[in-house]
Amino acid sequence: MIRPGPFSLLQDAGRLGWQHLGVSPAGPLDIQAAAWANRLLDNPRGTPLVEIALGGMELESALDTWVALCGAELDIRLDGAPRPNWSRFALRAGQRLSLGFARSGQRAYLAVAGGFRAAPVLGSVATQEREGLGGLHGDGRPLCAGDFLPCVPVVLPGAASVPWRFVPDYRAEPCLRVMLGGDAGDFSVADRQRFFARPWRLSPQSDRMGTRLSGEPLRAPARQWSLGVTAGAIQVPPDGQPIVLMADRQTMGGYPILGWVHPLDLGLLAQCPAHREVRFERVKLGGMQEDIREFYRFFGR
C-alpha cells in the first residue's frame, strides 16, 4: 500500500451473530456495489475486499492477479493507463493501481480474485474502528501506507463488466424506500406525512454508524425503554432530526423508531455526500422481502 486514501477499510459480509453481546456487525455500507465487485471475480458475496472512502488510493502489486472496482465514480489508472469502473481487469506484479478522488458517490470497493487474506476476529475480518475489531491487523485500524494486503495469484479468462442497467447514478437525488413500523403509530399522522412529503438534507456529522438528516423537526414520542436495532432503522431523537442507522450502528437504542429504510437502498444513502437532499417513499414489507430474496438468489448468502 503506497497511499491508503482518507479512510480505507477491509470488510467482508459483517461480524454476524454477536449483536446480543453488543458487538456491531460492521461490513460494507453499499452492499450492492461490494457484491458486484466480488461477483465480477467469481468470489462468494462476503469475500474480504476494501471499502475506499472518497478515493485517493495507490498500491503496487507483488503478484499476478485480477481485481475489480465498483462504486463511486473515480479515475482508475493502471500504470497511468485508464481502466473502467464497475469492471474487472488483470493486475500484474510490479504494476501500480492509482485511484483518483470521487466525482460522484462516496465509496468504492476494491476486490481481488480469491479475496484479501487476514485473520478473522469473532468470525469476521470486517473492520470496526470504534470497537477495535477486525481489519488487516485485527485491531480495527484503517489501512495505512506500507500495509501489505495478502492474496493469491489467480488467472481469469478475460475482462468483464457489470451491465450498464445495474450501475446506479450517484449524481441523482435518491428516493429511498421505507417501511413504517416500530413506534410509527406513536407519531402524529401529520408528522408521518411530512416525513415523506419533503426532502431531507444529509448532515456532515454522518458516519458509518449513522446518517443524520436535517430538516423541519418531527415531534418524537416519548420512549421509556431501549430495544435492539438493525441497519436501516430510522431513529428520531428529541431534537426531531432523524438518524438512519448504518453498518457500524450500536446494537440497542432508546430513541423512537419511525420505520426502516429498504436494505438495498442503504447503499444509495451511503454514496450521498454531505448536504445532498434525499426523499423517502413508503413501501410494504412483502415487497422488501421479495427484493432481498432476489438479491440473495443472485449474489448468494
Identify whether residues 228 and 145 lie together within a single domain. no
Model confidence at 142, pLDDT cuts 50, 70, 90, reads: very high
Identify whether residues 85 and 200 lie together within a single domain. no
What digits encode the pLDDT tens for the residues 258-283?
999 999 999 999 999 999 999 999 99
pLDDT (mean) for 154-174: 93
Separation CA 232–CA 40 (nearest Å) = 27
pLDDT (mean) for 7-24: 94
Identify whether residues 33 and 75 lie together within a single domain. yes
In the prediction, which pLDDT does 10 show? Answer: 98
In the prediction, which pLDDT does 254 show? Answer: 87
Q: Among candidates 59, 171, 158, which has minimal Cα distance to 104?
A: 171
* 114, 149, 166 - which closes a domain: 166
In the prediction, which pLDDT does 12 show? Answer: 97
Range of the domain at 88: 3-166
Identify whether residues 82 and 124 lie together within a single domain. yes
In the prediction, which pLDDT does 223 show? Answer: 76
Which contiguous run of DSSP H or E holds residue 195?
helix 189-197
Beta carbons within 10 angstroms of residue 82's beta carbon: 9
What digits encode the pLDDT tens for the residues 218-247?
998 987 688 899 999 999 999 999 999 999
Identify whether residues 41 and 117 lie together within a single domain. yes
In the prediction, which pLDDT does 222 show? Answer: 84
Separation CA 48–CA 135 (nearest Å) = 10
Identify whether residues 208 and 158 lie together within a single domain. no
* 127, 149, 166 - which closes a domain: 166
Identify whether residues 156 and 184 lie together within a single domain. no
* 166, 196, 212 - which closes a domain: 166
Alpha-carbon dihedral sign for residues 260, 263, 265, 269: positive
Q: Phi then psi for 89, rounded to 5 degrees?
A: -155, 160
Model confidence at 295, pLDDT cuts 50, 70, 90, reads: very high
pLDDT above 70 covers a percentage of the chain that reads 100
Identify whether residues 150 and 210 lie together within a single domain. no
Q: Are residues 72 and 108 in contact, defined by beta-carbon separation less than 8 angstroms? A: yes
Identify whether residues 126 and 150 lie together within a single domain. yes
In the prediction, which pLDDT does 291 show? Answer: 95
Neighbour order of strands in the sheet with 65-73: 7-11, 49-53, 104-112, 65-73, 87-91, 160-161
- Per-residue pLDDT at 95 exceeds 90: yes
In the prediction, which pLDDT does 62 show? Answer: 95
Identify whether residues 109 and 34 lie together within a single domain. yes
For the chain, helix (H) and strand (E) counts, in that order, are 4, 20
Identify whether residues 135 and 210 lie together within a single domain. no
In the prediction, which pLDDT does 72 show? Answer: 97
Q: Are residues 246 and 24 in contact, defined by beta-carbon separation less than 8 angstroms? A: no
pLDDT above 90 covers a percentage of the chain that reads 95
What digits encode the pLDDT tens for the residues 175-208?
999 999 999 999 999 999 999 999 999 999 999 9
Q: How many domains does the chain have?
A: 2
Separation CA 149–CA 113 (nearest Å) = 13
Q: What is the DSSP string of 25-71?
A: ----S-HHHHHHHHHHTT--TT--EEEEESB-EEEE-SS-EEEEEEE
In the prediction, which pLDDT does 301 show? Answer: 78
CATH number at residue 252: 2.40.100.10
Identify whether residues 17 and 154 lie together within a single domain. yes
In the prediction, which pLDDT does 227 show? Answer: 87
Q: Are residues 69 and 110 in contact, defined by beta-carbon separation less than 8 angstroms? A: yes
